[in-house]
Amino acid sequence: MPKEKILIVEDNKALSKLIAKKMENNPHFHVDVAYTLAMAQELLDQGNNYFIALLDLNLPDAPDGEVVDMMIENKVPSIVLTGTMDAEIRNAILKKNVIDYVYKGNIDDVNYIFSLIERLHKNRGIKILVVDDSMVVRAQIKEMLKQQMFTVLVAAHGEEALVFLEDNPDIKLVLTDYTMPVINGLELTREIRKRYNKNEISIIATTASSNELIDAQFLKIGANDFIHKPFSKEGLTCRINNSLDTLEYGLQFKYIAHHDFLTGLYNRRYFFDLMEEYGPSAKAKNEFFAVAMIDIDNFKIINDTYGYSIGDVVLKEVSEGLQKSLKKDDIAARFGGEEFCIVLKNSTQKSALEHLIKLTNSIAQHKIILSDGKVLTVTISTGVTFNGILHIDEMLKEADLALYKAKKNGKNRVELA
């Protein structure tokens, strides 16, 4: 995937080099630096397509912010860097239709630049639904959010918003007004929370009412935040970014709780949670499935010979091979050490055995290239059972016995319980 290009136009060479160096630590970004308006124009004339530009307001050949107008004319989204800040300068900057401004007073302000750009990079994959009965307000908010690189949908009332949510399950944030016809903001919030929890969709409520109880009502029924109208562009975007950050942290914690840190497969604990739900459901539907225990052959020898770092590489490569072999709804988990478990859903005994034999052969043929150029190959042994047994614990015991048989009979093979 090509890197995003960032343009820094700043005549303070020490500052521009600091920002460029830190930006390029992120593998997604490539940075160009210009110290004058003329240098920036030359980079644009070369056909560079910039994801974002960081612009100093006062350049030697553009002392009055002319570089901002140039970037707007070339449709380059821009963040303004300024060494002085007062209400007049702030208003003048924001009128120029830029994303944001940053006062470059200290290292904390500079660090804000990095977090802002990373946020904008994420925003392009995020849908926000704006719900307000005023066409003018909807248009204003949509324009604000498009500047922040969000994909924005708009609805005139709660009923229309629920249709959008049904058709767009990837919406991450709903910004809803309180007073609307058909379904108002409170009712909409209640309906959304019946379908999505706070780890799935954030809700920010707005109102022009002076009633002090409304914000508490919204927050009690599941809104993540509340903002009074009229609000500033900065206030709105900061609250939206904070809500999205919280949503992403929640997803990260959930991922960590459910996945093995090394391989990315499900962990043992979450495997049992999944099977407690799936096992009874499959039996009720008379759906056939297979449970297989898999062990990497001679893994202790690999660790003793090559070291634990190479052992980790082997675990990752085998895990990737397991995951790639599965259908979307199948389950793969690391149980610990070099032991894995997979569940092949809605699978006949014949097709499950064919799948596992093909997987075994694929792992054996896969070449693991080490950092020193050496080539390592590994094999796996597998024991498999099918859902004639009532509980997952019993199935795992059967699969374990079959795995023991596979080890005893020469490894690199599949044995049936």
- pLDDT tens-digit readout, 215-247: 899 999 999 999 988 888 888 998 999 999 999
Q: Which of 101, 117, 133 is the last residue of a domain?
A: 117
Domain boundary residue, one of 222, 257, 292: 257
Whether 400 and 273 map to the same domain: the answer is: yes
The domain that holds 139 is classified in CATH as 3.40.50.2300
**pLDDT single digits (tens) 277-287:** 998 888 888 88
pLDDT tens track for 20-43: 888 888 888 899 999 999 999 999
pLDDT digits over 257-270, tens only? 999 999 999 999 99
Total domain count for the chain?
3
Same domain assignment for residues 131 and 216: yes
Task: Judge if 142 and 213 occupy the same domain.
Answer: yes
Question: Which structural domain range is residue 279 located in?
Answer: 266-416
> Does residue 69 sit in the same domain as residue 53?
yes
Please say whether the beta carbons of 170 and 124 come within 8 A.
no
What's the pLDDT at 34?
95
Same domain, 277 and 208: no
85: left (phi over 0), alpha (psi -120 to 50) or beta: beta
Secondary structure class of 291 (helix, strand, coil): strand
**Same domain, yes or no: 154 and 252:** yes
Residue 179 pLDDT > 80, yes or no?
A: yes
Q: How confident is the model at residue 1 (pLDDT cuts 50, 70, 90)?
A: low
C-alpha span between 417 and 400 (Å, rounded): 8
Q: Where is the domain boundary, 92, 117, 142?
A: 117
Q: 280 and 400, same structural domain?
A: yes
Burial 283-304 (b: 16+ CB within 10 A, else e): eeeeebbbbbbbbbbebeebbe
pLDDT at 389: 64
Cα R_g (the chain), whole angstroms: 28
Specify the DSSP class assigned to residue 58. -
Q: 272 and 409 in one domain?
A: yes
φ, ψ of residue 278 in degrees (nearest 5): -75, -40
Residues 129, 104, single domain; the answer is no
Q: Enter the tokens of residue 141.
A: 């908010």
Q: What percent of the chain has pLDDT over 70?
A: 98
- Say yes or no: 386 and 282 in one domain: yes
288-328 pLDDT tens trace:
999 999 999 999 999 999 999 999 999 999 999 999 999 98
3: nearest Cα among 73, 40, 50, 41: 50
Record the pTM.
Answer: 0.74
Q: Tell whether 238 and 160 lie within a shared domain.
A: yes
Please tell me whether residues 239 and 337 are part of one structural domain: no
CATH number of the domain within which 410 lies = 3.30.70.270
Residues 381 and 55: their CA atoms lie apart, in Å, by: 59
Q: How far apart, in Å, are the Cα atoms of 164 and each of 40, 136, 170, 244?
A: 42, 20, 10, 19
For 258, the token pair is 């459910």
Amino acid at the residue 160:
E
